[in-house]
Structure 1
Amino acid sequence: MTTLASLNTLTDSAFVAALDGIYEHSPWIAQRAAARRPFATLAALKLALQDVVNTSSEAERLGLLRAHPELAGKAAIAGELTQESTSEQAASGLNLCSAGEYARLHALNAEYNDKFGFPFILAVKGPTGRGLTRTSIIETFARRLKNTRPDEFAEALRQVHRIAEIRLNALFDVAPQLGAQVMDWCETIGAWSDPDTGLTCAYLTPAHRRTAAQIMQWMADAGMEAHIDAVGNVVGRYAAHDPDAKTLMTGSHYDTVRNGGKYDGRLGILLPIAIVAHLHARGERLPFHLDVVGFAEEEGVRFRSTFLGSSAITGQFDPALLDALDADGIALRDAIRAAGQEPGAIASIARKPEDLLGFVEVHIEQGPVLLERGLPVGVVTAIAGSSRYLVELTGVASHAGTTPMGMRRDAAAAAAEIVLLVEERCSGVPSLVGTVGQLEVPGGSVNVIPGACKLSLDIRAAIDAVRLAAVDDILAGISAICARRGIEEKLWKIVEADAAPCAPRLMDALGAAVERAGVPRFDLLSGAGHDAMQMAQITEVAMLFTRCGNGGISHNPLETMTADDAELAGQVLLDFLRSYPA
């Protein structure tokens, strides 16, 4: 069996021979990587090979892409593929395509080659390494045909590196055990949704309660004491030998947005559970209590109030929210009681800051930064603050054909100007982003000037002063636009969350664990809100981001990650726990 130790001591030619086939018909990659030895970890070797490709000429990278065979193409049918490609395509059943599937793939291959000038490349063993279905392969093929050439060139190279990663795992007889477990668990609870299709798991719905019960069972199976608290949080404790020890907390949320992804939030619950199971199997205890919390609600889907779970843990839960109604007129307090919990007990679950060592959250990045840098994990520096508003504009609905342009009070035109105002004000300022994510013309008609329009505002930045200055300018701009156009405006603030910087000492501890895993430390900002924002009110916090695939997309069924990245995040978190800077 090949080992890193033996690979590090081989001659250059033997090193190249040992890695033959890792990159399709491209021995020059291993030749250039040989000089970078020794490699301390398999992750370090993977990144070194990747870096050789990324620093090569465009012609060399194009040649690498063109060295790959078409999926279910002529070479496959003729039996002319390499042993590795033959095995990979067979793992997804591409050797068993129906006549219709072969015809579809043949047409897609031709269209793709004509557009991009290189063959379609996909790691057909997929995120888990076990193989994608033919249907998902064809759907991915068709979706990626819509990319621009620069974007698709970059994505094809990422798929090449993923293929190489899977082949290296096989060469070294390595399987991502923690990562595979997390991926399997995500599949299990990802199948439970409020509607029949997609994944929507809103607060205290049947799917949500079923998910909570399953997470609690996994916690118990891992060796934890587990329960569901008064607000619906699933809490598991892996106790230290000393009952008076302090507590380190970790976790994330298990609710989802409408038609969301399988890993948002849930990775940060399930990965620590898998780590606890590993520790428990070894009979290993930590010098502190480790509490894993599956926060019941973070997304605000059902009752339009975010962070219900973590606000209760921090003692910031607003009792007035118990009167909030969902779309069916069900009050929050009644939903809690229907789930078997007592609203009056919510205040009692608040944690005392003096009992806590800190809070660390693992989360998918929900963006493309790590993906574009080719890094599996990153250390979060801060979570951006957020200001969110709903805006209602009222003009005059009138006939589209008889009202002169200069006499209109068009609410939609005012909204369009506001959208551009937000874009202009938030462009070019570091960490500042602004979004109008909802835009509606209620009861609009093709031949009627819009008399009303509703829109949302979402302004975020890592520095509160930057965010608040942008909010002031945008709100003033909205007033000026509406005054000039004769439009009435109403605004409702729905979220005001301060930025939450991560604790430098915890960032350094995570960064050191990342480097010990053979990966360079990379720091990045979180533009998305997380439960760690709430936890920062009572203790120090840290976050570890894990790379997203599919362009970094999240809050979407296309949200994805790999078992290998989850594995590396797990190893980093385990190292962090074992060397926690008390």
Structure 2
Amino acid sequence: MVNAGRLWKRLMELGEIGAQESGGITRFSFTAEERQAKELVARYMKEAGLFVREDAAGNLIGRREGSDADASVVLTGSHIDTVPSGGKFDGSLGVLAAIEALQTMQEQGISTTHPIEVVAFTDEEGSRFGFGMIGSRAVAGTLRSEHLKYTDVDGITIADAMKSANLSPDRLDEAARLPNQVKAYIELHIEQGIVLESIGHPVGLVTGIAGPLWQQFTIKGQAGHAGATPMNLRRDPLQSATELMGYIYAETRKFPNAVATIGKIQTLPGGVNVIPGQVQFSLDLRDVEEAERDKLEGRIRDYAGEVCRKYGTELTLELMQRVAPAPSSLEVKEAIAAAGKLAGLPDPLPELVSGAGHDGMQFNGLWPLGMIFVRSRNGISHHPEEWSSKEDCGLGAEVLHHALLLLAK
């Protein structure tokens, strides 16, 4: 059995780094808080008997060797960065549960044929730069130099932030893994939803991950005095934006599995008594079916053009990321299902889809992948009240432990 108490203690310790008076945690990539968190997690990895290194993208890696030096590696892990004022469990549980699983193997003298590596991936959330999954993209070999031009609110690029963290952006190719170097990827994560809680199960098997599509809409009009410009003579980009936002929400509800989120809005110049000259807003669009997501995207784009023509405003669309949905592989699903039995959980484990994006999406088509979900209280995530119980976290880690042994045997 894994040591649930040790796992819980580490979760709480890690949760102190970046903690705010509000109760939330803020740990952005390439910051002092992230560095402190990495040093703590590296210490846990060493306590588990792992060889620890950091790759060219800043991914923190702990490796447990297998009996076959030439065998492909089984990857597991998640991330330790957060959204602004996030919770203690998102990402962190997957990293720490993986360390706990390997430490249990070490303490029990269990050997595997394949090596196993725990990875704390760099910047999964995308909170700082508006461009996420930096570390997993690098491992997949899909992180490009143009991606490093994204900036944070202070105008600092990803490339400059990497340099400040003593990383070399021109060496990113060193972080990439070839398909034949990896046997499988498995990730433990909190559900961030209410499916498991609603059916009374602590752990679930993820059948696939919905693909996120991120776009930035920029609508330009004519700034002017709020009191001196009649309504019928205005070219107000906010009027175009609000009508478009209403359409986005209404149209998305027509698609059973689609979700749309407008998370960032900015008006310029931003005066109380000034008609905006420009409005920018983000759109996060997701569906487990890529064709359905793309159909919805097309409808939104067409309507955006119509509403801007209607109000005499100009539209610019920037694609920030487009990730295909990632189905879990049969091999990893079977390992998780068998692990659930070995952990003493009701058989079969409940199956569910992940509406949230995860690092494993970047590995779709490269090597087998799959996920384990742990029950979330009230489905709350990306919030200080995010919570999964000590018992559920321990059960999830136990399932991960057995799944890793089956995949790396």
Normalised by the shorter chain, which TM-score bucket? over 0.9
Q: 1:558 — aligned with what?
A: 385
| Alpha-carbon separation, structure 2, partners of 1:431 and 1:514 | 27
In structure 2, the residue matched to 1:572 is 399
Equivalent-residue separation in structure 2 for 1:444 and 1:378 (angstroms) = 46
CA distance in 2, matches of 1:194, 1:567: 23
Closer, same or farther: CA 260–479 of 1 in aligned 2, 3 Å = same
1:521 is aligned to 2:358 = no
1:394-431 Cα shifts (integer Å, max 9, x gaps): 23344555655444433222222111211121114232
Residues 294-326 of structure 1, C-alpha deviations (whole Å, 9 max, x = no match): 112211223332111111111222123445444
Could you tell me which residue of structure 1 aligns to residue 111 of structure 2?
285
Q: Residue 390 of structure 1: which of 216, 223, 235 is its match?
A: 216
The code of the aligned residue for 2:361 comes to M
Alignment length (residue pairs): 406
Q: Is the 8 A contact 1:314 1:537 kept in 2?
A: no
Q: Deviations over 1:209-238 (max 9, x none)?
A: 111111111111101111112211111111
- Counterpart in 2 of 1:192? 17
Partner of 1:314: 140
Query: Are the structure 2 counterparts of residues 455 and 341 from structure 1 closer, same or farther at C-alpha, using a change threshold of 3 Å?
Result: closer
Partner Cα distance (1:458, 1:322) in 2: 20
Distance 1:392 1:515, change over 3 A: same
Cα 1:194–1:375, aligned 2, differ >3 Å: closer, same or farther? closer
Give the structure, 1 or 2, with the largest relative contact order (CA under 8 Å, sep 6 or more).
2
* In structure 1, C-alpha distance between the alignment counterparts of 2:178 and 2:260, rounded to whole Å: 35
> Tell me, what secondary structure is at the counterpart of 1:579?
helix
Residue type matched to 2:392 in 1? D
CA gap 1:331/1:455 in 2 versus in 1, 3 angstroms: closer
Q: Which has the higher helix share?
A: 1
Tell me the CA shift for residue 267 of structure 1: 0.8
Return the structure number with greater strand share: 2
Amino acid at match of 1:429: F
Residue 382 of structure 2 aligns to which amino acid in structure 1? H
Q: Which of 154, 175, 198 does residue 372 from structure 1 map onto? A: 198
**Deviation sequence 1:429-455 (CA, Å, 0-9, x none):** 232111222233334445544443221
Query: What TM-score do the two structures reach when normalised by structure 1?
Result: 0.66
Cα drift, residue 462 of structure 1: 0.9
Structure 2 partner of 1:168? none
Pairwise CA distance, 1:184: 1.7
* Bigger Cα Rg: 1
User: Contact 1:268–1:361 (CA<8 Å) still a contact in 2?
Assistant: yes
Matches within 5 A, 1:165-184: 178-184=3-9
Partner residue, 2:317:
491
TM-score normalised by L of structure 2 = 0.92
| Whole-angstrom distance in 1 between the partners of 2:244 and 2:15 | 38
Indicate how the Cα distance of structure 1 residues 454 and 329 shifts in structure 2: closer, same or farther if over 3 A, else same: closer
CA distance in 2 between partners of 1:417 and 1:266 (Å): 39
Distance in 1 between residues matched to 2:396 and 2:57, nearest whole Å: 29
Q: Specify which of 531, 540, 543 is matched with residue 368 of structure 2.
A: 540
Q: Which amino acid aligns with 1:540?
A: P
Instruction: Using the TM superposition, give the Cα deviation of residue 330 of structure 1 relative to its aligned residue in structure 2, in angstroms.
Output: 3.9
Find the aligned partners of 1:455 and 1:399 in 2 and give their Cα distance.
Answer: 23
1:496-507 residue pairs with structure 2 within 5 A?
Answer: 496-507=322-333
CA shift, 1:332, in A, is: 3.4
Instruction: Map residues 352-501 of structure 1 onto 2, 5 A cutoff.
Output: 352-400=178-226, 403-501=229-327
SS of the residue 1:243 aligns to: coil
- In 1: Cα distance, 2:123 partner to 2:353 partner: 23
String of CA shifts for 1:18-38, please: whole Å, max 9, x gaps.
Answer: xxxxxxxxxxxxxxxxxxxxx
Residues 115-155 of structure 1: CA deviation (Å, up to 9, x unaligned): xxxxxxxxxxxxxxxxxxxxxxxxxxxxxxxxxxxxxxxxx
Contact 2:55 2:174 in 1 (8 A): no
Does the CA-based 8 Å contact 2:218-2:279 persist in structure 1? Answer: yes
Indicate yes or no: 2:184 matched with 1:341.
Answer: no
Any stretches of 5+ residues in structure 2 without a counterpart? none
Structure 2 vs 1, CA of residues 307 and 287 (structure 1 numbering), >3 Å: closer, same or farther?
Answer: same
Q: Secondary structure at the match of 2:296?
A: helix
Per-residue Cα deviation, 1:153-173 (whole angstroms, up to 9, x for no partner): xxxxxxxxxxxxxxxxxxxxx
Partner of 1:217: 43
In the alignment, residue 390 of structure 1 is paired with which amino acid?
Q
Match of 1:531 among 342, 351, 359: 359
Aligned AA (2:145) = P
1:376 & 1:428 partners in 2: Cα distance? Answer: 31
Deviations 1:61-96 (A, max 9, x none): xxxxxxxxxxxxxxxxxxxxxxxxxxxxxxxxxxxx
8 Å contact kept, 1:194–1:205:
no
Deviation at 1:243, TM superposition (A): 1.5
TM-superposed CA distance for 1:329, in Å, is: 4.2
- Which residue number corresponds to residue 47 of structure 1? none
Q: Any stretches of 5+ residues in structure 1 without a counterpart?
A: 1-175
- For 1:452 and 1:374, the matched residues in 2 are separated by 48
What's the CA shift for 1:389? 1.0
Matches within 5 A, 1:35-74: none
Q: What are the superposed Cα offsets for residues 240-287 of structure 1, whole Å, 9 maximum, x if unpaired? A: 122222211101111111111111111111001011111111111122
Q: For the Cα contact (< 8 Å) 1:194–1:206, is it kept in 2?
A: no
Distance 1:485 1:331, change over 3 A: closer
Q: For residues 448 and 346 of structure 1, do their structure 2 counterparts lie closer, same or farther at Cα, with a shift above 3 Å needed?
A: closer
Describe the SS at the equivalent of 1:299.
coil
Report matched runs for 1:70-219 at 5 Å: 178-193=3-18, 198-219=24-45
Q: Does the residue aligned with 1:575 lie in a helix, a strand or coil?
A: helix
Deviation at 1:333, TM superposition (A): 3.5
Q: Give, in angstroms, the shift of residue 459 of structure 1.
A: 1.1
Distance 1:581 1:523, change over 3 A: farther
